[in-house]
Amino acid sequence: AQRAPTTVQGFRDSPTFVLLKHLSARAALRPGCSERGRHRGEAYALRADVSELHTASGWRRRGREVLAAAAAAPAKLFPRRGFDVEAALGVRRLLDEGRECKEEEEREEDDEEDEQSSAAGAAPSASASSSTASYAPPLGMSAYYGDWQTAELVIPPASGGKVPRTQHGSVEIPPLVPSLPLGTVHLDFSDAWAAAKRLGVDAAPALVGFERRGGRSAPTFRGIVVCVEHARAIRAAALELEAARERQAEEARMRRAETDWKRLLKALVTRVRLQGRYEEEGGVEEEEGLEEDEDDGQESEEGGEVEPPQTLWGSDAEDI
């Protein structure tokens, strides 16, 4: 058997042994494994007995899933980053009050139904179906699990042209999971969803990750997941839709251009018409002005002598 190191640095560099105080917060000894000794009062163990801890989604990214029996017993709980506990407590308090009011109303309705059933001579009926609620960690905490609480992730393959989905109706794709379901392909281009719907092909939205929106984590979808045998038909239908959209856009541009040209020509015709009208009115006014000048000249000749025009010198011209 390999001997344990005799120095702290030796434990840091050792591929076999590790001091428990050197373990990260997100690591733990597997159940049934114990410390192998002590070095200057500090316990140490085998590195092979240590497991990293991850959330359920973290294990799915690594190709494993948390067992249903272990979901309610996480190895450790850690505070969630950026979580406002006071605000969440206020929201939860309001939700609890609303839930209590709803439960009280349901109990009153059940009592009324029982009374009516008893009055009718029938035994009160009780619902035989019961469902176990999924585990929810304490408020503001995240549950972390060890590898002993997980099993290899089994992704069901596609069958009969149907895409296997999660409980939320989507399909997780890498990096959320190691691989796509067998027999499926991810199509990430425009009109993919419309083409699949047009062909009547089964398709599911592709979940690619999560992002923060309004202080909350929201899923991000991009593209669709379909069976491999339908991929070529969907691509061809998407190209047809794109070509049809381009034709419609070109027709719309031609209609706009025709409308603009009609508007321009109409404006030019209106301008020429108004210009001709103004020129005609101006010619009539000039003719009237000439006629008035001729009438004034005739009146002056009939009146007798015509006064000589005044010169620039005025009356001083006689003195010269």
Confidence of residue 207 (pLDDT cuts 50, 70, 90): very high
Q: pLDDT at position 301, please? A: 54
Q: Tokens representing 1?
A: 């058997």
Strands 37-39 and 64-66 come out as unpaired
Report, as an integer, the average pLDDT of 223-233. Answer: 94
Give the closest residue to 149 by CA, choosing from 8, 301, 30.
Answer: 30
Q: Are 156 and 177 in contact (CB under 8 A)?
A: no
pLDDT tens for each residue of 90-121: 545 555 555 555 555 554 444 444 443 333 33
Query: Contacts from 80-88 at CB under 8 Å and sequence distance 24+?
Result: 80/140, 80/141, 80/142, 82/215, 83/140, 84/215, 85/139, 85/140, 88/139, 88/140
- Half-sphere exposure in the Cβ direction for 274 (13 Å, CA): 6
Cα of 191 vs its chain's centroid, Å: 17
Q: pLDDT band at 290, cuts 50/70/90?
A: low
pLDDT confidence of residue 130: 28
What is the pLDDT at residue 94?
Answer: 52
Least confident of 32-41, 45-54, 121-130, 222-231: 121-130
Sign of CA dihedral 69, 58, 142, 43: positive
DSSP conformation letters of 68-100: GGGTTS-SEEEEPTT--HHHHHHHHHHHHHHHH
Q: Identify the pLDDT of residue 281.
A: 73
Q: Give me the residue spans of the domains in the chain.
A: 155-249
Asked if residue 237 lies in contact with residue 197, where contact means CB atoms within 8 angstroms, the answer is no
User: Which of the four pLDDT bands, split at 50, 70 and 90, describes residue 135?
Assistant: confident
Q: At what angle do helices 192-199 and 228-302 cross, to 10 degrees?
A: 110
Q: What is the model's pLDDT at position 317?
A: 46
> What percent of the chain stands above pLDDT 90?
40
Q: Does pLDDT of 219 surpass 50?
A: yes
Q: What is the pLDDT of residue 128?
A: 28
Mean pLDDT of 110-133: 35
| pLDDT attached to residue 132 | 27
Question: Quick check: 260 pLDDT over 80?
Answer: yes
Q: What is the mean pLDDT of the chain?
A: 78
SS3 at position 168: coil
pLDDT score for 238: 92
Structural contact between residues 207 and 176, judged by C-beta atoms closer than 8 angstroms: yes
In the chain, which ranges are continuous DSSP H helix? Answer: 8-13, 56-61, 85-119, 192-199, 228-302
Q: Per-residue confidence at 137, pLDDT binned at 50, 70, 90?
A: confident
Report how far residue 10's alpha carbon sits from residue 24's, in angstroms, rounded to the nearest whole number: 18
pLDDT band at 34 (very low <50, low <70, confident <90, very high): confident
The model's pLDDT over 149-158, given as tens digits with 9 standing for 90+, comes to 999 988 889 9
At the topology level of CATH, where does 155-249 sit?
A: Alpha-Beta Plaits (3.30.70)
Q: Tell me the range of 210-214, 226-230, 275-279 where mean pLDDT is highest.
A: 226-230
Distance CA 172, CA 158 (A): 14
Q: Which of 14-18, 31-35, 136-140 has the lowest mean pLDDT?
A: 136-140
